[in-house]
């Protein structure tokens, strides 16, 4: 069954990162996901243990608590040949060590930006990810590759979800999957309900936010209930990460679309009612 996961990269962002785990737990979530824990992974693991929440996955990036600032400056991953292969694989080894402390099962990767030679950048990323799977697969850690839309992130190497799915298939590794963020699909001009069946074989993680605006479900035009139903019809039984921007409201106010009693329960598409708040 699908399970909700609260992404503390965007939710509870008025709090220091270590305090967001407990905030998500108090809000009723059993599972959380996070942006990069580096270089403070020991402190992050301790905060997670103290919170009572469980970590579904995290983002493979070297930026640590400074990542939001780096992302605002346009940073989108290191698997594009801008750093050495050894540096890339070293961070995957650290990812395995962090996952062992937290029981996380997924590490999300951004392949990076490109300027001119996109084929070379993607070739480097593919080689790095195949080698990374030699490190992550024995540890039970799945790599999920995320495409990002071209409007919010023009230089990024993978914009289209179906192209990203083909990239993942080309790796031919059981430990490499697709991170399908339906906001990015819709922002790129695609229909998530049509895309989901076409990439179903490689979906490893899902994230949701409404579109336009990347706000909470019910604030835009996306059929979130339809998305969940399409995932269920395709047999997806992984996490659905809640990764939206609460805007001017508090995170708890923005979560009115998902009653607290349902946040730790399996996703129930039959009774789920998304309403604007």
* DSSP E strands, the chain: 3-7, 31-34, 54-60, 106-109, 142-145, 176-181, 203-208, 239-242
Assigned CATH class of 55-238: alpha beta
Please report where in the chains the tokens 């990374």 appear, as a residue.
132
Strand, helix or coil at 85?
helix
> CA-to-CA distance for 158 and 118, rounded, in angstroms?
10
> CA-to-CA distance for 135 and 80, rounded, in angstroms?
19
The full DSSP string for 154-198 is: TTBS---HHHHHHHHHHH--TTEEEEEEHHHHHHTT--HHHHHHH
Q: Tokens standing for 160?
A: 């289209």
Q: What is the pTM of this model?
A: 0.94
Q: In the chain, what are the domain boundaries?
A: 55-238
Mean pLDDT of 131-151: 98
Say if residues 210 and 198 touch (Cβ distance below 8 Å).
no
Interval 184-211: pLDDT, tens: 999 999 999 999 999 999 999 999 999 9
- Provide the pLDDT for residue 42: 94
- Provide the pLDDT for residue 64: 54
- Provide the pLDDT for residue 65: 47
Strand, helix or coil at 273?
coil
Query: Any idea what DSSP says for residue 205?
Result: E
Interval 154-195: pLDDT, tens: 999 999 999 999 999 999 999 999 999 999 999 999 999 999
Element (H, E) at 132: helix 118-136
């Amino acid at each position: 069954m699908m399970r909700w996961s609260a992404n503390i990269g965007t939710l509870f962002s008025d709090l220091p990162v270590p305090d967001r785990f407990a905030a998500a737990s108090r809000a009723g979530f059993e599972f959380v996901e996070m942006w990069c824990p580096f270089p403070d992974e020991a402190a992050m693991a301790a905060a997670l243990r103290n919170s009572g929440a469980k970590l579904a996955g995290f983002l493979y990036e070297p930026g640590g608590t400074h990542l939001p600032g780096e992302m605002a400056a346009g940073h989108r991953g290191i698997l594009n040949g801008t750093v050495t292969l050894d540096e890339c694989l070293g961070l995957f080894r650290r990812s395995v060590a962090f996952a062992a402390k937290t029981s996380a099962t997924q590490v999300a990767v951004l392949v990076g930006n490109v300027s001119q030679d996109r084929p070379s950048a993607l070739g480097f990323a593919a080689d790095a990810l195949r080698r990374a799977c030699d490190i992550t697969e024995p540890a039970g850690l799945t790599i999920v590759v995320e495409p990002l839309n071209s409007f919010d992130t023009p230089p990024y190497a993978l914009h289209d979800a179906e192209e990203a799915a083909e990239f993942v298939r080309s790796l031919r590794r059981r430990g490499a999957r697709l991170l399908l963020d339906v906001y990015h699909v819709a922002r790129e001009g695609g229909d998530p309900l049509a895309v989901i069946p076409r990439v179903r074989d490689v979906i490893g993680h899902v994230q949701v936010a409404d579109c336009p605006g990347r706000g909470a479900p019910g604030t835009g035009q996306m059929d979130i209930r339809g998305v969940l139903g399409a995932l269920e019809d395709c047999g997806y039984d992984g996490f659905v990460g809640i990764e939206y921007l609460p805007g001017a409201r508090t995170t708890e106010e923005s979560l009115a679309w998902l009653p607290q009693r349902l946040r730790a329960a399996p996703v129930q598409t039959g009774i789920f009612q998304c309403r604007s708040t």
